[in-house]
Structure 1
Amino acid sequence: MRNIVEVIQARQASDGDGVKLLRVFGGRGPERFDPFLMLDEFGSQEASDYIGGFPSHPHRGFETVTYMLEGKMEHRDHMGNVGLLGDGDVQWMSAAGGIIHSEMPKQTQGRMRGFQLWVNLPASQKMRPASYSDVKAADIPEYALDGITIKAIAGVTTVNNYKVIGYFTEVDTQPIYLDVRLAAGQTMTLPASAEHTALVYVFDGCVTIGEGDARLSSQHLARLEDSGDIVIVNTAQKAARLLVLVAKPLHEPIVQYGPFVMNTQAQIEQALADYRSGTLGVAR
């Protein structure tokens, strides 16, 4: 089984127009999370923490996956797409060659909570046309095993020998993205392909992982070894909630400048030039 090689505590951060969030990982040293680039958890009862939202901004070279646990967020982009994310909904946006979009709260009170994950694209796909998909909670496959509930956002795998198929399966880096509720005293075992990156993020409760029963508490992420099964045990007295992320690394250079993730500095300069000239995301 895979053991933990690194534990990261989510840290307080701010993005967009003053939105308060927890940055789980992202920024320096992204190669060790390859192909994942960043994970944010956002959540608050206070409208002042999220009401500014994320006004219009560009992206190029990667994909964003927004998963709403609670609340309402509206997406608008330069291609004319408009979508409203509600409780349990998922948005998968492939910025690829370029997209300019906004993500704005559509509530002025109540709790807003969710996640945004950035997934890198291979060099051969970074300049393809952008695409966008909104998926309602009712359409995301959900599995109820013995003491385990799984929302399968992406990927094909097995959990405790039950086949689990996510909504998104045709993705370049073969990601597995699961939201898991693990009841007290339960164990889940998930095989993962050798050399694939494996991450576990606990957002409620605590669990133990691997042969040494290493403990992982809420708002902590574990990066696991690159071979063996993922074995997670809930030894606590209450249920735990966690994200399981597995994907095929690209092993390509990563050069990031804010919302642009490319393979060379020259490509970053081109992205900036395209944005300034108004041609980012324009078909050529």
Structure 2
Amino acid sequence: MSLRPTLETRPAKPTMEGAGVKLHRAFGFQDPSELDPFLLFDDFRNERPEDYIKGFPWHPHRGIETITYVLEGTVDHADSLGNTGSLGAGDVQWMTAGSGILHQEMPHGNAKGQMHGFQLWGNLPAAQKMTAPRYQDMTSDAIPEVTDDDGTHVRIITGTFWGKTGPVDGIAADPQYLDISVPAGVRKTFKIDTYRRAFAYVFQGSAAFVDASVPTGVLLEKEIGGQEIHIRDMSGDRTLIRFGTGDEVTVQAGEHGVRFLLISGAPIDEPVAWHGPIVMNTQAELQQAMRDLRNGTFIQPAH
């Protein structure tokens, strides 16, 4: 067994998208090989309706998949194929844009005005760039959950983990997407396929991701739950942790526990031509997509 080293720890950066939605971006529009097959990850979390209510009006996508996971509030969606729906707390939507789709996503707060969710973009390989668009909407009660003896709790969005399999399937990157809660002071190891790129995103509490590549003398000593442990500085709210190669990740929860997403996928290792919500393999394909948008042929006929 080999522990994955931490390549980078960085805070998500405030930005604005859509019609003025304030959010935090953990990664996106940088080097697409960094976390291949994943391209972008946004944390949209607000307590003031004016910071999100204008939402994400009609916009195109081609060549990618978008994964939306809602924790608080709701997100209403509609698309150019005539699909409509609403995602509530705990629900997941996996949209394969494929050859092209126009859609809108309009968030609404809960009774307290709070809105919280995540959106991850996954790339599509060349052979699937122009596949037919589709949606997979999964309600919260369809997502399996498992709790270990030490209180560690995992929601399995996709992939198989601890004997349970998430409901979303047929995704190009064959990803594993886990929502993990670890109680205060607990140290826990999670298996990840060696050949997948992987990252964690802390969004509640704090934790140290134990890195075997760092000598013990470099680590900090701290007492948590009556135990003296050796840890790195804790990663807190809205922190991205990018991992190197290995087959497991070990996390040491902080004094208030931690909740984080652990996401991995098989790299595509193909050229990327990227402009906004459209991701192709070549500049020629990207230019064709722009022409299609201009001349009204972006939505491909069903086969």
Q: Which TM-score band (shorter chain)?
A: over 0.9
Aligned to 1:47: 49
Shift of 1:145: 1.5
Judge conservation of contact 2:55–2:107 (CA < 8 Å) in 1: yes
Amino acid at match of 1:197: R
Change (3 A) 1:278 1:111: same
Aligned to 1:138: 141
Deviations 1:149-179 (A, max 9, x none): 111101123xxxx324222243221100011
Aligned to 2:27: 25
Amino acid at match of 2:247: G
Which of 61, 64, 67 is equivalent to 2:66?
64
1:67-82 superposed matches below 5 A: 67-82=69-84
Q: Please tell me whether residue 261 in structure 1 is matched to residue 279 in structure 2.
A: yes
Shift of 1:75: 0.5
Q: What SS does the corresponding residue of 2:34 show, helix, strand or coil? A: helix
Judge conservation of contact 1:43–1:112 (CA < 8 Å) in 2: yes
* Structure 1 gap segments, 5+ residues each: none
Distance 2:171 2:251 in 1: 26
Aligned to 1:216: 235
Amino acid at match of 2:99: G
Higher mean C-alpha displacement, 73-82 vs 215-224: 215-224
Amino acid at match of 1:5: L
Higher mean C-alpha displacement, 7-16 vs 209-218: 209-218
Judge conservation of contact 2:27–2:42 (CA < 8 Å) in 1: yes
Amino acid at match of 2:237: S
Q: What SS does the corresponding residue of 2:255 show, helix, strand or coil? A: coil
Distance 2:167 2:147 in 1: 16
Aligned to 1:192: 192
Which of 248, 261, 267 is equivalent to 1:249?
267
Distance 1:187 1:143 in 2: 17
Q: What SS does the corresponding residue of 2:289 show, helix, strand or coil? A: helix
Q: What SS does the corresponding residue of 1:30 show, helix, strand or coil? A: coil
CA RMSD of superposed structures (Å): 1.4
Amino acid at match of 2:235: L
Shift of 1:283: 1.3
Shift of 1:107: 4.7
Q: What SS does the corresponding residue of 1:216 show, helix, strand or coil? A: coil
Aligned to 1:153: 157
Aligned to 1:237: 255
Change (3 A) 1:187 1:166: farther
Which of 118, 123, 133 is equivalent to 1:120?
123
Judge conservation of contact 2:185–2:252 (CA < 8 Å) in 1: yes
Q: How many pairs are equivalent? A: 279
Aligned to 1:228: 247
Distance 1:23 1:209 in 2: 21
Aligned to 1:179: 179
Distance 1:143 1:281 in 2: 41
Shift of 1:279: 1.4
* Larger Rg computed on CA atoms: 2
* Structure 2 gap segments, 5+ residues each: 215-230
Aligned to 1:170: 170
Percent pairwise identity: 41
Runs of 4+ in 1 over 6 A off after TM superposition: none
Aligned to 1:83: 85
Amino acid at match of 1:33: L
Change (3 A) 1:107 1:227: closer
Distance 1:250 1:271 in 2: 21
Shift of 1:105: 2.3
